[in-house]
Chain A
Amino acid sequence: MPDFAAPVSRLIEELKHLPGIGQKTAQRLAFYLLRADREQALALADAIRAAKETVHQCSICNNLTDVDPCLYCTGSGRNRRTICVVEEATNILPIEKTRQYNGLYHVLGGALSPLQGIGPEQLQIKSLLERLKTGAVEEIIIATNPTAEGEATAMYLSKLLKPLGVRVTRIATGIPVGSELEYADEVTMLKAMEGRHEL
Chain B
Amino acid sequence: MPVRESEAIILRTYPLGEGDRLVSFLSRAEGRVRGVARGARKPKSRFGASLEPLSHVRIWFYERETRQLVRISQCELIESFLEAQRSYNANVAFGLIAEISEAVLPEREPSDPAFRLLLATCRAIQSRGSIALPIGYFTLWTVRLGGWLPSLDHCAACGRDLAGQPGWANTEGSGVFCRQCRPPGSRPFSAEALATARTMLRGSLEKLAAAGTRVPDELTNYWMDLIEQHIERKLTVRSMLELAP
Interface residues of A (CB under 8 A from B): 19-20, 112-117, 119, 147-148, 151-152, 154-156, 176, 178-179, 183-188
Find out whether the CB atom of A151 lies under 8 angstroms from the CB atom of B85.
yes
B interface SS class: mixed
Can you show 26 pairs from A to B with CB atoms below 8 A apart?
Answer: A19-B15, A112-B91, A113-B95, A114-B91, A114-B92, A114-B94, A114-B96, A114-B99, A114-B237, A115-B95, A115-B98, A147-B52, A148-B52, A148-B54, A151-B86, A152-B87, A154-B86, A155-B86, A176-B44, A179-B44, A185-B77, A187-B48, A187-B49, A187-B82, A188-B48, A188-B49
Q: Which of B21-37 contact A (CB under 8 A)?
A: none
Residue in chain A with minimal CB distance to B50 = A185
Number of interface residues of B (CB under 8 A): 33
B236 at the interface (CB under 8 A from A): yes
Residue in chain B with minimal CB distance to A117 = B236
| Given known contacts A185-B49, A185-B50, A114 and B86 CB-to-CB distance under 8 angstroms | no
| Given known contacts A152-B88, A188-B48, A116 and B80 CB-to-CB distance under 8 angstroms | no
B5 at the interface (CB under 8 A from A): no
Interface residues of B (CB under 8 A from A): 12, 15-18, 43-44, 46, 48-50, 52-54, 76-77, 80, 82, 85-88, 91-92, 94-96, 98-99, 236-237, 239-240
Q: Report the Cα distance A152→B240, complex, angstroms.
A: 14
Q: How far is the CB of A155 from chain B (nearest CB, A)?
A: 4
Find out whether the CB atom of B82 lies under 8 angstroms from the CB atom of A151.
yes
| Given known contacts A113-B95, A151-B86, A187 and B17 CB-to-CB distance under 8 angstroms | no
Residue in chain A with minimal CB distance to B43 = A176
